[in-house]
Chains A and B, each alone.
Chain A
Amino acid sequence: MSATALSALQEGLVSCETCGLLSRPAGADQRGRCPRCGAGLEARRRQSIQRTWALIIAAAICYIPANILPVLTTHTLVSSESDTIMAGVIYLYTSGSWPLALIVLVASVMIPIGKLVALGYLLISVQRGSVKNNRDRVRLYRLVELIGRWSMLDVFVDAFVVALVQLKPLMSVEPGPGVLFFMAVVILTMVAAQSFDPRLVWDSDGDGQGRNG
C-alpha cells in the first residue's frame, strides 16, 4: 500500500506540518512559509536524525544519575533519609501497595527507557533505509510522542510533596539532585521525539532520494 503512495517530497511539493496544505516550495534553498497558515515550511525537518541522536544520547546519560541519585530527602525529627526512584518503588512494593509500585515503576523507569529505545530503533531503522513495518514504526512514534508528557508524573509528585510536606521541625522533604536529572531525561526525550521527523520513515520507501540527515 505504501509502495503506491507518493510523498510530497517526491513530487517536489511541501506539506505544511501545521495545517496540512500542500504547496510548492518557494525556491531551491528558501524554505518559505505556508500560504494559508504562515507556518514555516520544510520538506523535512533539518538535521532531524542528528539532533534526535544528540538528544537521545544526552537523555541516556542523564538517565543514569537520575536513577542513582536520590530524588527525595526526607528529614524527620531524628533522622533523614534519601530515596532514589527504585528505592521508592521497592518501598511501595514491600509495604504492600504493589499497584502504586507498578505505576511508579512504569511511569518513572520503564517509560523513559522505552522512549529512548523506541527513538533509537526509529533512528537506526531510518538510517539503514529499512522499509519494513513502516506503519508500525510510525505508530510507535505516535505512541512515544503521546506518552512523553506522562513521564513528568514523577517530577510533579516530587514538587507537590516538597511543597506540601514542610512541617518543620517535625518533618520536611527536600528534592534530591536525582529529580533534576530525571526531569532532564523527560524533557530531552520529549524534545527528541519532536525533533524526529516521522516522514523520514517512509522516505526510504521510494527510491530513497531526498533523505535528510
Chain B
Amino acid sequence: MSTALVTDLTIFVLALLVGFEVIGKVPATLHTPLMSATNSIHGIVLAGALLIGVTAHTVVGYILAFIAALFASANVVGGYVVTERMLKMFRRRPQPQVQAQPHPELDGKGRS
C-alpha cells in the first residue's frame, strides 16, 4: 500500500470523525440549512472538475469537463446562496416583514 494512499485514508477517516463530532451538535432547527450548507460544501468537486481541464485534449474530454464544471458550479453557487437566504430568516425576535416599503400602520407596534 503506497504512502499516498495511507495518507489519503487517514485524512478520510479523521475527517469523518470530525464530521460526526461537529455535526452532532447542530440543533434540529438548523437541519435544513445544514443539509443545504453541506450540499454546497460537496460542490468542492468543482475543483476536481476544473482539474480535468489539465489533460483534456479530446472532444470527449471537453464534453465531460463541461458537464462536470456545469454541475459542480450550479451545486456550489446555488447551495451557498440558498443557505444564506434561509439563515437570514432565522431571527431571535420578529421583525417588520418588509423594510423597503414602510407600513405606517405597522410601525411602532412590532411584536418585539
Q: Do A and B come from one complex?
A: no
Residues on B close to A: CB < 8 A?
A: none
